[in-house]
Amino acid sequence: MNIYDIAKEAGVSIATVSRVMNDSPKVSEKTKKKVKEIIERSEYTPNIFAQGLGLNTMHTIGVLVPRISDAYMSSVVAFLEEYLHDKGYGCILGCSGYSRAEKEAHVSMMLSKHIDALILVGSTYAGTGTIEEETDYIRKAASKTPVFLINGLVNGENVYCTASNDYQAAYDVTIKLIENGRRRIAFLTDSHSYSANQKRMGYETALTYSNIPIDKALQLFVKNDIYQARDLLLSRPDHSFDSVFATDDGLAVGAVKYAGEKGLRIPEDMEIVGYNNSSLCICSNPELTSVDNCISKVCSDTVERLLKVLDKKEGVSAHNIVGCSIARRNTTSF
């Protein structure tokens, strides 16, 4: 027996059955009793979609990531699912890939699921942060349901963003390396996303502040793969850099392997800093200093603001920036 059968037997609408299952005060006690007796007799088990009928909510949040195998993405999804479940919300997860066409197609698919809100995880959804039309699809989606973006900033009505302060974190790391006497700091990245660009700008600002010329030859782009990062560094001339700041821990571990191949002492001959403070940091030998971008805080803030928006509360900020810290380990001497 399904919800349609129950509604037919009780002589009420499907929406009324849904309201009874959610104990809505809009249904008379007489009708509630009648519907509940049918439900109990038929041993009907309601699902979340049936419960949402007529209440304008499915208690379901769509979560899109470009790639779930990425350590950062999977950690964010784990936190979001935990926090949302605690508040009575389920999740629908999708993996969109990185191309604009893929992202737009997956956003449309999520909206067709009648979700209460959409969370986009990763700065790739914010594009490069310089061309507004790259994010038009987000504003279009937000005209239908609230959209929350993690680790990127996009302007638009019904769009809410939470991001780590990557610019400040990159600036702080670079300054500390400079204070330790480093002058040839390689910047290792795998992306041209909003977040990666914020890190690069923080790095460049610190160099400029310290009167060190910005050398584009030290800004290296490589796939986020430990061995490819190592091999790229091995292809560089000896002594072309004296330290590495990587925008992901995997890239930084590649730098650690490079130093091992070259017989360099860490941190005496070369200092290395990663990003995301992932489990790779303690798997590395020596253990890796990394920027902790406070994923748990970013996710809890996102869920807290999402619930306020769904509850129609006023004054929810469109943008929120979460500070980072440096998890100091054995690949730096600061």
pLDDT digits (tens, 9 = 90+) for 147-161: 999 999 999 999 999
**In percent, how much of the chain has pLDDT > 90?**
76
> What's the pLDDT at 48?
52
pTM of the model: 0.81
pLDDT-derived band at 59, boundaries 50, 70, 90: confident
* Residue 38, pLDDT score: 87
pLDDT in tens, 281-327: 999 999 999 999 999 999 999 999 999 999 899 999 999 999 999 99
Number of H helices, E strands in the chain: 13, 12
Cα–Cα distances (Å) from 123 to 73, 192, 325, in that order, read: 11, 10, 19
Strands (E), the chain: 60-65, 90-95, 117-121, 147-150, 159-164, 185-189, 219-221, 243-246, 271-275, 289-292, 319-322, 325-327
Show the tokens assigned to 60.
């379901």
Structure-block tokens of residue 276: 């995301």
| Domains of the chain, CATH where assigned | 3-52 (1.10.260.40), 60-164+295-324 (3.40.50.2300), 166-293 (3.40.50.2300)
Mean pLDDT, range 249-260, rounded to an integer: 98
Cα separation, 143 vs 139, whole angstroms: 6
Q: Which helix (H) or strand (E) holds 298?
A: helix 295-310
Q: Are 63 and 96 in contact (CB under 8 A)?
A: no
What is the C-alpha separation between 222 and 140, in angstroms, rounded?
33
Amino acid type, 134: E
